[in-house]
Amino acid sequence: MTSATQHYIGGEWLEGAGDAIPTVNPATGQGIGDIAIGTAEEVDRAIAAARAAFEGGWGRSAPAERRKALLRLSQLVAEDAMELGRVGTEDSGMPFSLTTGEAVFAAEYLEFFAGWADRLTGETIPLNQTEVFDYTLREPVGVVAAIVPWNAPLSLTIWKLAPALAAGNTIVTKPSELAPLAPARLVELVAKAGLPRGVVNLVHGTGGATGQALIEHPGVDKVAFTGGTETGKHVAATAAKTLKRVSLELGGKSANVVFADADLDTAAYQACWACFLYTGQQCIAGSRLLVERAVEEEFTEKVAGAAGAFVAGDPMQPATQVGPLISERQLDRVLGFVEEARSTARVLAGGDRPGGELAGGYFLQPAVIGGVTNEMRLAREEVFGPVLSIIPFDDEADAIRIANDTPYGLAGGVWTNDVNKAHRVARAIRAGTIWVNSWHGLNPATPFGGYKASGMGREGGREVLASYTETKNVYVQLR
Ligand code: NAD
């Protein structure tokens, strides 16, 4: 057993006492190690270690200490990008070019939030009572439970860890049981960066056991959760019993709207990327491709042609753009959507499992589905796989109506050369991020999160810091 498969509690790597579960390389279907399911006692110890570190100094540390620690970690993450990428690809099946890119992005994220450590200022508030001096302080929330899914596990851990630590919180993180190794490698770097013991803790395990113990525990002040919408509702309801602060980044069914006046060749290729990146296993997948009816036939042909460039392959090969799905269960679920589409709509490209050397992994050739209506299950449920549905619309108002006719509100896109139309549609779509003539643009400085069933709160940018701080008002009677 390596440290990657152990829990990290109070600055020590510990063998877990709970049952072991295998982690599997999705490209081969072969086991690559076991993790122990973190028990309620281990969760309790991790929270106690985080509390001790918070009260023992980190919660009141000088901003420069936190800034320097985050910068050291950023440097280590950048230097380790190849290994973080290798581990991440082996564990999650995401192409090596993406997992190494994620590590570089993670380093930038840490650097950005290091810069916030000494910028969390309060304000002075002028009151009508002139013999009063009133001011606010921004204080850390306390112990944060960071619960992370299996797609982009490194980034999604960093999105929580960086702002939480910058603000002086301590953390217990639980990676997904399906892709725990890159977050564990990150925690090895935390140890190297010399952060005080207990500031960052990691407990492996399943959602039902370890995750549940975390969200129920009265010693946790805030839960930062990324995952499915149904799990998110359960997390919020459970956390409410002890009035924990909660932020939720959940699922999506995002509309990518292409108008007739857009650059259709670029839009067709980029629409495939919008859906097929991470093998479609992205909350922000542009899975509903809305096209103006006047160019439906021409554009659909271009998209089906462009999809052919996205060939599923060995994720360790530098040229591979599409890796396997995370598990056999996820593959079966996605195949179910494709099979349904064969009778209710038209499968225009992909949708088959590649054979040969890839037969042992959970691969699926990215699929383009035409003739979809927004009422179909394919357009309403999150597929979380490389399946792109094309839905026609009549005019701008119709496009906006269809784009908003979903329980979700995570992201959206608009492709047009008319600047007025671009801004009108960007305003009208009820979603947390809108891309114009692009997709996937994410930056540590910009807020990210969902409207409606896609979540609560924001990650990234200055907005995330509000969710990792409490505001204290101090009222001073002057004599
Ligand atoms: P999931 O909800 O099954 O699991 C997410 C995490 O929650 C895992 O670590 C899991 O172990 C844990 N968990 C499960 N049950 C729990 C419980 N009862 N208590 C506490 N923790 C529990 O999601 P997943 O299948 O791992 O990930 C895919 C989902 O994540 C998709 O719906 C996707 O859209 C969403 N996602 C959202 C974003 C975003 O930023 N909005 C980003 C990535 C993924």
Q: 249: CA distance to ligand 1 center in Å? A: 9
Could you give phi then psi for residue 312, rounded to 5 degrees?
Answer: -65, 135
Is residue 9 over pLDDT 60?
yes
Closest residue by CA, ligand 1 atom 12: 207
Phi-psi sector, 407: left (phi>0), alpha (psi -120 to 50), beta: alpha
Decide: 85 and 96 in contact? Cβ < 8 Å.
yes
- Both tokens assigned to 249: 């980044």
Please name every residue paired with 223 in a beta bridge, in sequence order, or none if there are none: 145, 246
Please name every residue paired with 124 in a beta bridge, in sequence order, or none if there are none: 135
d(CA 241, CA 324): 39
Residues 70-103: tens digit of each pLDDT:
999 999 999 999 999 999 999 999 999 999 999 9
Residue 448 is assigned to a structural domain of this protein: no
Ligand 1 and 159: CB distance under 6 A: no
Residue 332 is assigned to a structural domain of this protein: yes
d(CA 78, CA 158): 13
d(CA 144, CA 164): 8
Decide: 144 and 200 in contact? Cβ < 8 Å.
no
Task: Give me the chain's average pLDDT, please.
Answer: 97
Q: What ligand 1 atom has the least distance to the C-alpha of 455? A: 41
Residue 241 is assigned to a structural domain of this protein: yes
- Residue 41's contacts (CB-CB under 8 Å, 6 or more residues apart) are 17
Residue 199 is assigned to a structural domain of this protein: yes
H/E segment holding residue 475: strand 469-477
Q: Are residues 267 and 221 in the same domain?
A: no
Q: Are residues 462 and 397 in the same domain?
A: no
d(CA 473, CA 342): 61
Write the CATH number for 84.
3.40.605.10
Residues 361-400: tens digit of each pLDDT:
999 999 999 999 999 999 999 999 999 999 999 999 999 9
- What pLDDT is attached to residue 296? 98
Residue 139 is assigned to a structural domain of this protein: yes
Q: Are residues 185 and 279 in the same domain?
A: no
Q: What ligand 1 atom has the least distance to the C-alpha of 238? A: 19
The b-or-e profile of 210-220 (16+ CB within 10 A means b, else e) is bbbbbbebebb
* Mean pLDDT score, 43-50: 98
Ligand 1 and 313: CB distance under 6 A: no
Write the CATH number for 260.
3.40.309.10
Q: Are residues 114 and 11 in the same domain?
A: yes
Q: Are residues 380 and 418 in the same domain?
A: yes
Q: How far is CA 74 from the centre of its chain?
A: 19
Which DSSP symbol is given to 395?
S
User: How many domains is the chain built from?
Assistant: 2
Phi-psi sector, 61: left (phi>0), alpha (psi -120 to 50), beta: beta
Q: Are residues 134 and 275 in the same domain?
A: no
H helical segments located in 206-293: 212-216, 229-240, 264-276
Q: 226: CA distance to ligand 1 center in Å? A: 5
Is residue 104 over pLDDT 50?
yes
Decide: 416 and 262 in contact? Cβ < 8 Å.
yes
Residue 261 is assigned to a structural domain of this protein: yes
Burial of 322: CB neighbours in 10 Å, binned 0-12, 13-18, 19+: buried
Amino acid identity for residue 73 in this structure: L
Ligand 1 and 382: CB distance under 6 A: yes
- What pLDDT is attached to residue 2? 57
Residues 223-274: tens digit of each pLDDT:
999 999 999 999 999 999 999 999 999 999 999 999 999 999 999 999 999 9
- Residue 73's contacts (CB-CB under 8 Å, 6 or more residues apart) are 110, 189, 190, 193, 195
Q: Which amino acids are annotated catalytic?
A: 249, 283
SS3 131: coil
Q: Are residues 163 and 82 in the same domain?
A: yes
Ligand 1 and 100: CB distance under 6 A: no
Ligand 1 and 202: CB distance under 6 A: no
- What pLDDT is attached to residue 1? 42
- Residue 237's contacts (CB-CB under 8 Å, 6 or more residues apart) are none
> Tokens 């002890």 — which residue?
242
Beta-sheet strands, E only, within 427-468 = 433-436, 451-452, 455-456
Residues 408-461: tens digit of each pLDDT:
999 999 999 999 999 999 999 999 999 999 999 999 999 999 999 999 999 999
> Tokens 């692009």 — which residue?
438
Q: Are residues 282 and 425 in the same domain?
A: yes
- Residue 63's contacts (CB-CB under 8 Å, 6 or more residues apart) are 117, 118, 120
Return the best residue to mutate from 231, 277, 446 for the ligand 1 pocket (most ligand atoms within 8 A of CB).
Answer: 231
Q: Are residues 372 and 414 in the same domain?
A: yes
Q: Are residues 242 and 267 in the same domain?
A: no
Please name every residue paired with 477 in a beta bridge, in sequence order, or none if there are none: 132
Decide: 174 and 146 in contact? Cβ < 8 Å.
yes
* Mean pLDDT score, 336-351: 97
Q: 74 lies in which domain range?
A: 6-250+453-477
Q: Are residues 34 and 143 in the same domain?
A: yes
d(CA 23, CA 405): 38
Share of the chain above pLDDT 90, in %: 98
Q: Are residues 149 and 290 in the same domain?
A: no
Ligand 1 and 185: CB distance under 6 A: no
Residue 1 is assigned to a structural domain of this protein: no
pTM: 0.97
